[in-house]
Structure 1
């Protein structure tokens, strides 16, 4: 019985040693691996910063900025150069978008009413920045007033009232480095999406 017990203890010790060795190996290897994996990590930080802050509207602009000429990828023989003058960047700027009028701004105490218009057009920042480390955000905004009609039905009578609702409008935008913006504590799926009203 003692021999069997010694053998099982020996096996447990050897398994524990193997586990600890693998754990130590993984810890050393994982510290040497890059912390963030993204498609742009092979580029130097100064090049990424230069690209992010440049006004690139075409592939020609990118070629001029970098001082190099774009080459076709191996094995592809396009009949014409795609996008040299045809591709447009959806750069960071204000664009007209449709925004739903927040019902709580008209009457936070009731739900039984009809609004017209239920949506309004307003300028909002949208578009891409040149790198993933920058985000298009408003640099200047104000609240724009809208006249909204509220229709209610009380005691068998229709009642139409006018209300002024202010909705946030973006006046100008810029690409801002994500590191300078507030970093959330939890991943975005934990937060309710804002309508920015």
Structure 2
């Protein structure tokens, strides 16, 4: 029985050593890996700012701005001729917006609105970098006539209400505020190692 117990303890120790080795290896490798593939880190801030503030309408514009020529990836063979992508730039577009029910009657839920949604201008589209966002610069409230249908005392009632919904008049790509961590990155690594 002692031999079996010694063999089991030896196996457990060797498995623990293998696990610890793999953990140390993974920790060392993960320190060198990029933190997020989806970010634009690695590009200098001045280049990001230049790209973000430029009016880029084609790949040729981007090539001219950067002073370089675009290259195809190694082994790339186009199967058919394709056109260049057109950017969905930051501008106002007509969108469908649901009429807020609370603007018609905040005290009740038993009613129907017609129309239940309206078309208005809203800012949408992409900016050249993720550090900039398409936001409205000027906006106003546009009034709409909305019918409210209720059923009360055995019969339908129809009332007309004026509802104001915010409409965007002009948009711009604006730099987002940078998030500053409360503690330096070194703190987070130490905390993870202590757990």
TM bracket, shorter-chain basis: 0.7 to 0.9
2:165 aligns to what SS in structure 1? Answer: strand
Distance 1:39 1:121 in 2: 34
Distance 1:50 1:126 in 2: 21
Gaps of at least 5 residues in structure 2 are 180-195
Residue 139 of structure 1 and its aligned partner are, at CA, apart by 3.6
Distance 1:3-1:178 versus aligned 2 partners, 3 A rule:
farther
Does 2:30 align with 1:25?
Answer: no
- Could you list the per-position Cα deviations for residues 30-60 of structure 1 after superposition, in whole angstroms to 9, with x for gaps in the alignment? 1110000138566545433322221112233
Distance 1:77-1:9 versus aligned 2 partners, 3 A rule:
closer
Distance 1:2-1:151 versus aligned 2 partners, 3 A rule:
closer
- Could you list the per-position Cα deviations for residues 123-182 of structure 1 after superposition, in whole angstroms to 9, with x for gaps in the alignment? 10111122344332334434333222222232244432222212222233233445548x
Alignment of 1:1-197 (within 5 A): 1-38=1-38, 43-70=43-70, 74-76=76-78, 82-83=83-84, 88-177=86-175, 180=178
Distance 1:67 1:78 in 2: 28
How many aligned residue pairs are there?
A: 177
Distance 2:18 2:80 in 1: 55
Distance 1:34 1:167 in 2: 44
Distance 1:29 1:140 in 2: 49
Q: Which moved more, 1:140-149 or 1:37-46?
A: 37-46
TM-score normalised by L of structure 1? 0.73
Over 6 Å off, 4+ runs: none
Root-mean-square deviation (CA, aligned residues, Å) is 2.9
TM-score normalised by L of structure 2? 0.73
